[in-house]
Amino acid sequence: MSAPASESASAEPLVLADTTGRVRLLRLNRPAQLNALNDALMDALGAELLKADADPQVGAIVITGSDKAFAAGADIAAMTDWRYQDVVANQFITRNWETIRRVRKPVIAAVAGFAMGGGCELALACDIIIAADSARFALPEVKLAMLPGAGGTQRLPRAIGKAKAMDMCLSARMLDAAEADRYGLVSRVVPDAELLPQAMALATNIASFSMPAVAAIKDAVNRAYESSLAEGITYERQQLYARFATDDAHEGLAAFVAKRKPVFRHA
Ligand code: CO8
């Protein structure tokens, strides 16, 4: 079931990694297949995500694709021969797609072109989605007699509500960027030429803050999806109290009072 880490010995990596300041940019790199997400690509992406998460010089991560496709879904050709026992034994999706759930640093999806099926689900697994005008979102798995099995049936309703999620999942309807914005699927829509600059600027801004605070905020917001309101509020309060155990919180408060810029040590 596993595929090679690149298309051939001489091929480029399936994920290109680049660091600017405190931001790690990860670019999905199977342009000829519209970044169809095969096992090797998802292994590579998972490894890069964990590397960035462990690097103290990195404060935020951006995932992007090409101008034409963020990702056109799971690799359909790769799946055609798989049987039930194959996907169970290899823990399809669980084994590598879900690595992103272990990342404590904020992950921003910068989406241009198609984000379909697994590509849309990968974007939904990120913390923030910025869409270019050209972005198109769909969960068309029903057309393959499959289902959005990389979190789509769960994250989409939480993002845009049941009625709209049912509409998309059951009809395979494609949203353009403006609709995705209206639905609350994305946080903002920008001109194509502005996609990467704006995603990088957002990531740079986030990465300038105290990392323990940023990680606590990400974790607390995610709790809103996975707990009752009462449990979530209790968790948020614990996280608030824990801020007083960090040097950065004291620095942030003192710097405001002293009317100076805070210097965070991420501790
Ligand atoms: N998998 C494999 N190859 C793909 C995929 C894909 N998802 N999408 C595109 N490609 C390939 C095409 O086969 C083509 O290859 P080639 O040049 O060798 O023929 C190349 O990329 C370019 O594609 P097109 O010629 O089709 O480009 P168009 O601009 O005409 O169309 C579309 C673009 C509309 C995006 C079209 O390619 C398309 O419909 N793609 C499939 C979209 C789709 O159905 N995605 C969902 C896949 S299933 C999934 O993601 C499930 C995820 C959760 C896992 C659970 C199991 C299902």
> What is the DSSP code string of 178-193?
HHHHHHTSSSEEE-GG
- CB of residue 149 inside a 6 A radius of ligand 1: yes
Pocket probe for ligand 1: among 1, 14, 29, 34, the residue whose CB has the most ligand atoms within 8 Å is 34
Residue type for 32, please?
Answer: A
Average pLDDT over residues 41-58: 98
What whole-number distance in Å separates Cα of residue 101 and Cα of residue 117?
18
The larger pLDDT score, comparing residue 204 to residue 9, is at 204
**pLDDT tens by residue, 62-108:** 999 999 999 999 999 999 999 999 999 999 999 999 999 999 999 99
103, 50 Cβ separation under 8 angstroms: yes
Pairing of strands 188-190, 128-132: parallel
**pLDDT tens by residue, 220-245:** 999 998 899 999 999 999 999 999 99
What lies within 8 Å, CB to CB, of 1 at 6+ separation is 39, 82, 86, 87, 90, 92
The Å distance, Cα 193 to ligand 1 centre, comes to 24
**pLDDT tens by residue, 240-263:** 999 999 999 999 999 999 999 999
Say if residue 6's pLDDT is above 80: no
Q: Which atom of ligand 1 is nearest to the CA of 146?
A: 57
Say if residue 120's pLDDT is above 70: yes
DSSP state string for 101-145:
GG--S-EEEEE-SEEETHHHHHHHHSSEEEEETT-EEE-GGGGGT
What pLDDT, on a 0 to 100 scale, did the predictor assign at position 11?
76
Ligand 1, atom 28: closest residue by C-alpha: 34
- CB of residue 34 inside a 6 A radius of ligand 1: yes
39, 96 Cβ separation under 8 angstroms: yes
Q: Which atom of ligand 1 is nearest to the CA of 148?
A: 53
Residue type for 47, please?
Answer: A
- CB of residue 113 inside a 6 A radius of ligand 1: no
The Å distance, Cα 197 to ligand 1 centre, comes to 27
The mean predicted confidence, pLDDT, of the chain is 95
Please indicate, yes or no, whether the overall pTM of this predicted structure exceeds 0.85. Answer: yes
SS3 (DSSP) at 28: strand
Q: What is the largest CA-CA distance in the chain?
A: 65
What whole-number distance in Å separates Cα of residue 187 and Cα of residue 184?
7
Say if residue 177's pLDDT is above 60: yes
The Å distance, Cα 34 to ligand 1 centre, comes to 7
The Å distance, Cα 72 to ligand 1 centre, comes to 5
Pairing of strands 136-138, 175-176: antiparallel
**pLDDT tens by residue, 206-223:** 999 999 999 999 999 999
DSSP state string for 139-183:
-GGGGGT---TTTHHHHHHHHH-HHHHHHHHHH-PPEEHHHHHHH
- Both tokens of 245, joined, read 């155990």
Active-site amino acid positions: 74, 118, 121, 141
The Å distance, Cα 42 to ligand 1 centre, comes to 16
Pocket probe for ligand 1: among 41, 68, 76, the residue whose CB has the most ligand atoms within 8 Å is 76
Residue type for 81, please?
Answer: D
Average pLDDT over residues 27-49: 97
Say if residue 203's pLDDT is above 60: yes
**Burial of 220 by CB count in 10 Å (0-12 exposed, 13-18 middle, 19+ buried)?**
middle
pLDDT band at 8 (very low <50, low <70, confident <90, very high): low
61, 97 Cβ separation under 8 angstroms: no
